[in-house]
Amino acid sequence: MSPRIVLIGPMGVGKSTVGRLLAERLGVGYRDTDDDIVTAENRTVADIFVDDGEAAFRAIEKRAVRTALTEHEGVLALGGGSVLDADTRALLASRQVVYLSMEVEEAVRRTGLGAARPLLAVNPRKQWRELMQARRHLYEEVATAVVPTDGRTPEEVTEAVLDALEPETVFPGEQDPRPEDAVVNDVTRIRIGGTAGSEPYEVLVGRQLLGELAGLVGDRAKRVAVVHPEALAETGEALRADLAGQGYEAIAIQVPNAEEAKTAEVAAYCWKALGQSGFTRTDVIVGVGGGATTDLAGFVAATWLRGVRWIAVPTTVLAMVDAAVGGKTGINTAEGKNLVGAFHPPAGVLCDLAALDSLSVNDYVSGLAEVIKAGFIADPVILDLIESDPEAARTPAGPHTAELIERSIRVKADVVSSDLKESGLREILNYGHTLGHAIEKNERYKWRHGAAVSVGMHFAAELGRLAGRLDDATADRHRAILESVGLPLHYRHDQWPKLLENMKVDKKSRGDLLRFIVLDGLAKPTVLEGPDPAVLLAAYGEVGE
């Protein structure tokens, strides 16, 4: 959830009156964070200032704004000083924020010496000028539109705001960039557009989705191979038996758990099983498991007979939001992570949320690293949802599980729909992975992928900050959110030379040039090419322990 419009501006500018009129015009609810605070504290804003001081009020206000940004879908008015907080400003990035402005004479006329305005109690004209000197640039920094209110009635201001809004805000849905996404019977279908050479397909998110499997396999297939890890032997066998019951010659191919499956030897074992069962070009592979299994199964499908159809049934958060979506398949080699592979999109992806119930907490949390990555590179609402209750985000029973997964899938779907083969935009999905993959190799693939990516994102944030690209608040937010869900931030300091060596074979490197994805700001990913080695080392200085 996210407000359709956020109103900011100084006290007395008319945010409440205009906010209510706007909400009425748009047919949505109205909310005001000052009202939330008064209700929660059972005191007026002025009383909180007098009793506890401004700093205490700002801390209460910051929490109130964060909660409202996560919970409210209509028009939201923020208190005049809320933009003083850098974290709050970062939260407002990429939202529709309207700054209602007014000049000093109008302000003094409207606010006067009212006791309810604690910051203007004495000499209002002087106080106002000082206040606006401190705040005007902050309002302008976060605003997507500025609407002057001087000499205008609230109705006229409301009209001006409506004129200034992006059409999508006023007529939501009419310009939906993903009109093909649909929710039927609690199953969300996210369509991934086919670029040149690949068919479009759907990612289904819901429960009890296995009834969809045979339809995806289709009637041209005679044989189906279900590739599953040891940990999911029962699930693999249940799928095989179900497909056999529907008339297919179904085999199960059990592979090792986790990264041990992503080797040339295991791929060769699968090829042998396919060969022995007489698998032809119309037959279908089903990869059921975490990202390691779906990467392997997709790779086997890409290479068998130079490419057969495959269906992904991801059973971890990480595989649902990332690995099983988008068509990157592959295995590791002794020299590095995912060094051998192919772009080979699946024919469909079934994300059955019930599968997550049996996942260990560590494997669940590992997946949150890719969810958080999607938040930082493209969809900050993901971050708001996690920050609203990090403890709940660590379990499938959390209130936002489905929304977090769906939002992350949409981020990936949007990117890979326009750049399947990573000729440009797709590189942003590699945020945190340059160092992350180097750590995984250094640990001989015993670290969880998400844990390594978490340290890698911390590094990328520090690199962005030290390279003068990323603001302090957004860089700090990385540490706070990753830590809040229990992901690691640090790695051994003395390993830097080895990590640097490992990073040279990263797929984004060009010749001797190291390339990193960093942020220019929240949800503004970009490429940093050939950073100064001293800056790299300094960034690692923040990560190493």
Ligand X SMILES: O=C(O)C(=O)C[C@@H](O)[C@H](O)[C@H](O)COP(=O)(O)O
Contacts of 141 (CB under 8 A, 6+ apart): 83, 89
Q: Work out the number of other CB atoms within 10 angstroms of the CB of residue 80.
A: 22
| Residue 34 binds to ligand X (criterion: CB under 6 A) | no
| 63 given a catalytic annotation | no
| Residue 336 binds to ligand X (criterion: CB under 6 A) | no
Contact positions with ligand NAD (CB under 6 A) in 277-336: 289-293, 295, 315-316, 318-319, 322-323, 326, 328
| Residue 94 binds to ligand NAD (criterion: CB under 6 A) | no
Q: Which is nearer to ligand NAD, 101 or 329 (CB)?
A: 329
Coil, helix or strand at residue 243 = helix
CA nearest 249: which of 281, 287, 284, 198? 284
Quick check: 330 and 294 in contact, CB under 8 A?
no
511 sits in the region (left: phi over 0; alpha: psi -120 to 50; else beta) called left
Q: Give the integer Cα–Cα distance in Å for 273 and 34.
A: 65
Choice from 203, 213, 286, 359 touching ligand NAD (CB under 6 A): 359
| 449 given a catalytic annotation | yes
User: How many residues contact ligand NAD, by CB under 6 A?
Assistant: 31
What does the per-residue mask of binding to ligand X show for 505-544, with x meaning CB under 6 A? --x-------------------------------------
Coil, helix or strand at residue 447 = coil
Q: Which is nearer to ligand X, 326 or 348 (CB)?
A: 326
| Residue 426 binds to ligand NAD (criterion: CB under 6 A) | no
Q: How far is the CB of 420 from ligand X (least distance, A)?
A: 9
| 185 given a catalytic annotation | no
Q: Which is nearer to ligand X, 213 or 429 (CB)?
A: 429
| 433 given a catalytic annotation | yes
| Residue 413 binds to ligand NAD (criterion: CB under 6 A) | no
Quick check: 343 and 327 in contact, CB under 8 A?
yes
CA nearest 363: which of 416, 297, 314? 314
| Residue 258 binds to ligand NAD (criterion: CB under 6 A) | yes
Catalytic residue among 410, 426, 478, 507, which?
Answer: 426
Query: Which residue reads 């495959």 in tokens?
Result: 310
| 370 given a catalytic annotation | yes
Q: Which is nearer to ligand NAD, 292 or 455 (CB)?
A: 292
Cβ-closest position to ligand X: 338
Q: Give the integer Cα–Cα distance in Å for 436 and 459.
A: 9
| Residue 465 binds to ligand NAD (criterion: CB under 6 A) | no
Beta strand spans in 405-529 (E): 515-519, 525-529
Residue 258 interface partner, choices ligand X, ligand NAD, none, CB cut-off 5-8 Å depending on type = ligand NAD
Residue 318 interface partner, choices ligand X, ligand NAD, none, CB cut-off 5-8 Å depending on type = ligand NAD
Q: Which is nearer to ligand X, 12 or 367 (CB)?
A: 367
One DSSP character per residue, 158-220 reads HHHHHHHS-HHHHSTTTT-S-TT-EEETTEEEEEE---TT---EEEEEESS-GGGHHHHH-SS
Contacts of 295 (CB under 8 A, 6+ apart): 262, 323, 328, 329, 330, 331, 338, 341
Q: Give the integer Cα–Cα distance in Å for 244 and 251.
A: 8
Contact positions with ligand X (CB under 6 A) in 85-104: none
Q: Give the integer Cα–Cα distance in Å for 491 and 479.
A: 14
Rg (CA), the chain: 26
Supply the angle between the helices 449-466 and 472-484 in degrees, to the nearest 10: 160
| Residue 384 binds to ligand NAD (criterion: CB under 6 A) | no
Contact positions with ligand X (CB under 6 A) in 411-450: 422, 426, 429-430, 433
Residue 348 interface partner, choices ligand NAD, ligand X, none, CB cut-off 5-8 Å depending on type = none
Supply the angle between the helices 533-543 and 496-503 in degrees, to the nearest 10: 120
Quick check: 463 and 516 in contact, CB under 8 A?
yes
- Tell me the torsion sign for CA atoms 10, 14, 17, 18: negative
Catalytic residue among 240, 344, 433, 507, which?
Answer: 433
Residue 507 interface partner, choices ligand NAD, ligand X, none, CB cut-off 5-8 Å depending on type = ligand X
Q: How far is the CB of 266 from ligand NAD (least distance, A)?
A: 12
Tokens matching residue 329:
């398949």
| 430 given a catalytic annotation | yes
Catalytic residue numbers, as ranges: 306, 328, 370, 412, 422, 426, 430, 433, 437, 449
Provide the binding-site residues for ligand X, judged by CB under 6 A. Answer: 322, 326, 328, 337-338, 370, 422, 426, 429-430, 433, 507
Provide the binding-site residues for ligand NAD, judged by CB under 6 A. Answer: 229, 231-232, 257-259, 262, 289-293, 295, 315-316, 318-319, 322-323, 326, 328, 338, 355, 358-359, 363, 366-367, 370, 449-450
